[in-house]
């Protein structure tokens, strides 16, 4: 028996926007990750500006906790013209549920937010894109304060345009909420540019491809969903203030690994580095002539008669090859 690894990717550093007329309400509360509805977009404006040059802020000065700062964050809205602007409040002193850690490795991409949306003060049905409302990506029942970066919404909408319906099962998470559902210590869900999602009419692999197509900096494919975030895009200046130059920090991308294990007639591929559940595993079995006799997505594989070799692709990131005796 020999085990070979091909395309072994080690990553360093760690719903559904439907047509506006028939939006999906958030589903059941999440387990290790959440489940609410939303969908996709394209790489969006640089900090503080839409792609068309429309400012995403208005003039103003940050004031006290829980009060309007005079600043607004503007979203694409139904027409994609960044005309839907919502007031933000100071993020100072919001309490232990919003205790962000110091920036990871000093990277500006993990800056502590300076303002937040008051989700109790804004209608949850506010259309922040052509096919997304605010409640699809940030819910008050998870905490009064939230943040969603406009460029991430633009990317979600672009993905939705390509994919059709997409259900978002997790959008913004406060630090306390993220901890309660077992999220990564520096989960991008806390920074407003990450979404866990499933497609209504396309599979997980195609959905992951769309994440990359629309500029995602990090993508993970799980059994139940695709995690997609734009951690490498400039932060929105309304939520994070004037950002210093981007600093790449490899630890922001988790180590990923897996191995092949045979137990009798069963093959398994235990994996590590996926923090939101089990990665998708796609098994392919070949006969002595190299013809594929079986393909399936499953946690493990019962080796069929006539099998000479098998491969398993883990989380769409790398493939392990197993030669049967």
Question: Cα(216)–Cα(89) distance, rounded to whole angstroms?
Answer: 28
Residue pair 60/241 in contact by the 8 Å Cβ criterion: no
Question: Cα(114)–Cα(48) distance, rounded to whole angstroms?
Answer: 14
Q: What is the DSSP string of 260-312?
A: -EEETTEEE--EES-TTSPBPEEEEEE-TTS-EEEEEE-SEEEPPTT--EEEE
Q: What is the DSSP string of 50-78?
A: -TTS-BS--S----SBTSEEEEEEEE-TT
The least confident of 121-125, 126-130, 222-226, 248-252 is: 248-252
Q: What is the DSSP string of 1-21?
A: -EEEEES------------GG
pLDDT in tens, 6-16: 332 222 222 34
Question: Cα(317)–Cα(203) distance, rounded to whole angstroms?
Answer: 16
**Alpha helices per DSSP H over 119-203:** 150-163, 175-180
Q: How confident is the model at residue 68, as a pLDDT?
A: 56
The values of phi and psi at residue 218, to 5°, are -155, 130
Please name which of 212, 176, 208, 173 lies closest in space to residue 194, comparing C-alpha atoms.
Answer: 173
pLDDT in tens, 158-185: 999 999 999 999 999 999 999 999 999 9
pLDDT in tens, 97-116: 999 999 888 788 899 999 99
How many other CB atoms sit within 10 Å of the CB of residue 5? 14
What are the C-alpha distances in Å from 17 to residues 25, 39, 124, 191, 234? 10, 4, 14, 20, 24
Token pair belonging to 162: 């390509």
Token pair belonging to 190: 């806390």
pLDDT in tens, 30-58: 444 433 333 332 222 333 333 333 333 33
Sheet holding 194-199, edge to edge: 166-170, 194-199, 226-229, 218-221
145: which strand partners?
118
268: which strand partners?
261, 300
The values of phi and psi at residue 61, to 5°, are -125, 135
Domains of the chain: 20-252 (3.30.1380.10), 256-323 (2.60.40)
- Mean pLDDT of the residues in the chain: 80
The values of phi and psi at residue 228, to 5°, are -140, 125
Q: How confident is the model at residue 255, as a pLDDT?
A: 84
Please name which of 76, 75, 73, 109 lies closest in space to residue 89, comparing C-alpha atoms.
Answer: 73
Question: Cα(173)–Cα(187) distance, rounded to whole angstroms?
Answer: 9
Q: How confident is the model at residue 104, as a pLDDT?
A: 86
Work out the average pLDDT over 273-284.
Answer: 91
CA 28 to centroid of chain Cα atoms: 18
Token pair belonging to 88: 């933000």
Tell me: pLDDT of 3 over 60. Answer: no
Q: How confident is the model at residue 147, as a pLDDT?
A: 96
């Amino acid at each position: 028996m020999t085990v070979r690894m091909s395309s072994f990717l080690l990553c360093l550093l760690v719903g559904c926007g439907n047509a506006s007329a028939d939006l999906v309400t958030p589903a059941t509360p999440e387990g290790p990750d959440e489940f609410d509805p939303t969908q996709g977009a394209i790489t969006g404006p640089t900090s503080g500006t839409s792609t068309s040059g429309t400012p995403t802020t208005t003039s103003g000065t940050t004031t006290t906790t829980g009060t309007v700062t005079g600043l607004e964050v503007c979203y694409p809205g139904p027409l994609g013209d960044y005309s839907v602007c919502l007031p933000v409040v100071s993020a100072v002193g919001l309490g232990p549920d919003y205790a962000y850690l110091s920036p990871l490795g000093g990277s500006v991409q993990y800056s502590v937010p300076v303002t937040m949306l008051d989700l109790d003060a804004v209608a949850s049905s506010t259309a922040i894109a052509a096919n997304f409302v605010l409640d699809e990506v940030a819910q008050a029942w998870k905490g009064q304060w939230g943040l969603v970066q406009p460029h991430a919404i633009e990317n979600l909408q672009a993905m939705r345009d390509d994919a059709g319906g997409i259900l978002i099962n997790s959008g913004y998470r406060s630090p306390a909420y993220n901890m309660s559902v077992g999220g990564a210590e520096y989960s991008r869900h806390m920074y407003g540019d990450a979404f866990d999602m499933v497609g209504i009419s396309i599979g997980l692999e195609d959905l992951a491809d769309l994440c990359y197509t629309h500029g995602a900096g990090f993508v993970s494919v799980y059994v139940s969903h695709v995690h997609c975030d734009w951690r490498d895009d400039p932060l929105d200046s309304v939520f994070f203030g004037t950002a210093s130059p981007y600093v790449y920090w490899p630890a922001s991308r988790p180590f990923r690994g897996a191995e092949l294990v045979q137990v009798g007639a069963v093959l398994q591929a235990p994996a590590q580095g996926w923090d939101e559940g089990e990665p998708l595993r796609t098994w392919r079995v070949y006969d002595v002539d190299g013809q594929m006799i079986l393909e399936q997505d499953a946690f493990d594989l019962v080796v069929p008669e006539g099998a000479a070799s098998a491969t398993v692709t883990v989380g769409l990131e790398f493939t392990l090859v197993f030669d049967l005796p």
